[in-house]
Amino acid sequence: MERLQKIIAQAGIASRRKAELLIQSGRVQVNGKRVTVLGTKVTEKDKIAVDGVPVQKEILVYFLLYKPAGVISSVKDDRNRTTVVDFFQQVPQRIFPVGRLDYDTSGAILMTNDGKLANRLMHPKFEIDKTYIATVHPVPEASQLRKLSSGIRLDDGMTAPAKVQLVESDYLKKTAMVRLTIHEGRNRQVRRMFAALDIHVRKLKRERYGFLSLAGLHPGDARSLKPHEVKTLYHMTHLDTGHDDR
């Protein structure tokens, strides 16, 4: 619970003193009702407006989650499966995933309530690199690795050039691990790229999202981004400053 004038001041609309005057002069609404009492307490969930214009009071938060396989990358699931948001029950802000990973895919996923940054990061023009490690069967041939890197024709068009590296191969078991960096974010893209070559992806993990790696995290762990990491994401997407600027 916070005092109404503090929230208005924190949103950068007015100084604390000016916020008090706004309240006293009847220009502030809480959940659609005019409030003129100074010191009225509000929570994150109350909708505050000044002269009818909503105040964006939510603090912007940013997390990197190591999504385990078997978790859905959405805010809600109609089949009651665990979602990425379930890992943040202590976080009062309404956060959501930036993009998605398949139910069966594990790895790095960014979670935030910063809609503006999320939209930019998901926009193809910013070409955010995503690095995956795929356990595949059978072992890809050199010509297939070349195709993955130069572009594969999928039913929604050619894929952009990718970085591809054969990390490990087991010719007895006919399995391999391939690291693949792509900047597109089409639905099930990595699985479809391999499927187009008759290669089956048994396991898929996203090791990196842009410059953010899973270092120090185990499946199900999350960490807050550091201020300089948020700043870098802003720079990468040509959003300059002002995290309140949604």
Q: Of the listed pieces 7-15, 29-37, 74-82, 187-195, which binds ligand URA according to CB under 6 A?
A: 187-195
Residue 101 binds to ligand URA (criterion: CB under 6 A): yes
Q: Could you tell me which residues come within 8 angstroms of residue 110 by beta carbon, excluding any fewer than 6 positions away?
A: 62, 63, 64, 65, 97, 98, 99, 118, 121, 209, 212, 225
Residue choice 27, 188, 231, 243 for contact with ligand URA (CB under 6 A) = 188
Of the two residues 180 and 239, which places its CB atom closer to ligand URA in the complex?
A: 180
Residue whose C-alpha is closest to residue 136's, from 203, 207, 208: 203
| Catalytic-residue membership of 77 | no
By residue count, the chain amounts to: 246
* Least distance in angstroms from the C-beta of 62 to ligand URA: 21
Compute the distance between CA of residue 108 and CA of residue 209 in angstroms, rounded to an integer: 6
Residue 184 binds to ligand URA (criterion: CB under 6 A): no
- Judged by CB under 6 A, the number of residues near ligand URA is 8
Residue choice 85, 204, 233, 239 for contact with ligand URA (CB under 6 A) = 204
Query: Which one is catalytic: 102, 104, 244, 245?
Result: 102
Residue choice 29, 83, 105, 131 for contact with ligand URA (CB under 6 A) = 105
Of the two residues 93 and 135, which places its CB atom closer to ligand URA in the complex?
A: 135
Residue 189 binds to ligand URA (criterion: CB under 6 A): yes
| Four-CA torsion 28, 30, 34, 38, nearest 10 degrees | -70
Of the two residues 105 and 144, which places its CB atom closer to ligand URA in the complex?
A: 105
Residue choice 19, 23, 98, 190 for contact with ligand URA (CB under 6 A) = 190
Of the two residues 5 and 105, which places its CB atom closer to ligand URA in the complex?
A: 105
Q: Where are the beta strands (DSSP E) in the chain?
A: 2-3, 28-30, 33-34, 41-42, 48-50, 53-54, 62-67, 96-97, 106-112, 130-137, 153-154, 157-158, 163-170, 175-182, 200-209, 212-213, 222-224
Residue 159 binds to ligand URA (criterion: CB under 6 A): no
Binding site for ligand URA (CB under 6 A): 101-102, 105, 188-191, 204
Q: Catalogue the active-site residues.
A: 102
